[in-house]
Amino acid sequence: MNSLGEFHFKFKKGKISSKKRIVAIDTEWAKNWRAEEKVIPFCCSFHTIYIDNALSTIDLDDICMESEIYFRSQTDSTQGYIDKVEQILSSYIDYDTIFVGHQLSSDLYTFVQNSKNKLDNTLYLIESLRLRKKKGSGKMLSVIDTRYDIKNRIRGNGGEKLRNVSLKYKVYAIQNELNEVSLTKMYNQYVIDGDVEKREKLSVMNWRHSFQTALICLLDMYPDCLIHNKKFDQDFLVTNDIIQEMGKSKFRYLNSEEYNRSCTLEGINEYCRRYTESK
């Protein structure tokens, strides 16, 4: 157990060689309109990719990454959980960092609207996001929203779902966890039974979302870079096997047969086929 509790996890891959980094933030929340707290944040992840300015080929095996996940424990109050996420965010605030999220304002406002305490770091990030396209706004953080700000491979004004954007950038993030149940229902079931596998699945989904978002940002920043996957010798990127490599020692679910399938070429092809058929 560490200082923030038993469901606070950190993962790392590779050796850090650069201060410049992309930090993607994603938050999961459950809705319960009958409860006093209508929206309940329960998992937040920060996925960091360190940027090499001389990047010519993007291969995930060669990129240094870190991930931090904080899942709300059943003893956390909403305010207690939000305060701890604010504490984590404070460790990322600097001007060498590019913050990114997919519809990031919604994730950040989930904390603000449910907090009785002032969240200085979250509010600073929100203000930087709001003023990101205005000149003369003073010293602000670098913030990108991949739903609206990315330019390459996306037509019009953006606004597409994360899955759609990921596929256009050849980022394959296979999400088998929600094949038979919604995220909110899985979380509500977890609150009742405390099942470890449900918590791990929810944590992995959240991690995958921030990982996807970081990759989209990276690919949009370096549109002329080649993309390569050593494992399959293909020109696409896969999040699932990297997550497995980084997290399998702490999440038993990542060693399951169900998850292993999502890391195979067969599983990737099946995912792409289902997406094509659903369009």
Mean pLDDT by 10 residues, the chain (279 residues): 73 90 95 67 96 86 95 92 96 95 94 95 96 79 92 66 90 90 92 95 97 95 91 93 96 96 91 74
What is the structure's pLDDT at 92? 97
Angle between helices 104-113 and 120-130 (to 10 degrees): 140
Domains in the chain: boundaries: 8-278
What is the structure's pLDDT at 137? 66
pTM of the model: 0.93
Pairing of strands 142-145, 97-101: parallel
Distances (CA, A) of 204 to 19, 69, 168, 183: 26, 9, 22, 12
Phi, psi of 267, rounded to the nearest 5 degrees: -65, -40
Length of the chain: 279
- Domain range 8-278, its CATH number among 2.20.110, 3.30.420, 1.10.3470, 3.40.50: 3.30.420
What is the structure's pLDDT at 279? 61
